[in-house]
Amino acid sequence: MVKQRSALLRACLLVSLPLTALAQAPVIVEAETGTLGSSLSIAALGDVTYITGLNGTTNPTADRVASYQVTFPSAGDYDLYVRVYVGPAGGNDDSFYIPNGFGSLAWTGLYNTSQGGHSAPGSTVTVIGAAGQNVWKWIRLTNHPGTTGGIGPNAWVVPAGSLTQTFNWGSREDGLFFDKLAFGPAGTCYTVAQLDGAPGTTTCPPPPPPPPAAYTYPGPPIATGQAKFLGSAWSSGNASINFANYFNKLSPENAGKWGSAEPQRDVFNWNDLDTAYALAKNNGWPFHFHVLVWGNQQPNWIDELPVEEQLAEIHEWFAAVAARYPDIDILEVANEPLHDPPCTRENGGGGYCDALGGTGPRDSATEWTWVLNSFRLARQYFPRAKLMLNDYSIENETPQTTRYINLIKMLKSERLIDIVGLQGHAFSQSEAPPMTTYRSNLDRIAALGFPIQVTELDVDGTDDAVQLAGMRKIFPIYWDHPGVTGVTLWGYKQNSHWRNAQGAWLVWSQAGSEGAQRPAMNYIIKYVQNVLPQVSLHQQFRLGGTANGDAVGTVLGTDTDAGDVLSGWQIYTGAGSTSTASLFSIDPVTGVLSVADAAALAADPSASFKIHVSVSDGYHRSAPQRVTIVR
Catalytic center residues = 336, 456
Measured between its terminal Cα atoms, the distance across the chain in Å is 88
Bridge partners, residue 158, by sequence: 76
**Count of CA atoms in the C-beta half-sphere (13 A) of 172:** 20
The residue type found at 498 is W
Q: State how far the Cα of 84 lies from the Cα of 136, in Å rounded to an integer.
A: 6
**Radius of gyration over alpha carbons of the chain, in Å?**
29
Nearest to 591 by CA among 627, 631, 547, 630: 627
Which residue type, as a one-letter code, is found at position 541?
F
**∠ Cα 89 91 92 (to 5°):** 60
CB 425 within 8 A of CB 392: yes
Contact present, 314 and 355 (Cβ < 8 Å): yes
> Quick check: helix, strand or coil at residue 554?
strand
Q: Is 108 helix (H, G, I), strand (E, B) or coil?
A: strand
In angstroms, the Cα distances linking 607 to 38, 171, 540, 548, 612 are 82, 73, 13, 19, 17
Cα distances from 80 to residues 295, 320, 375, 500, in angstroms, run 34, 50, 48, 21
Task: Give the residue ranges of DSSP H helices in 425-535.
Answer: 436-446, 464-479, 519-529
3-state DSSP assignment of residue 513 = coil
Give the pairing type, strands 452-457 and 484-489. parallel
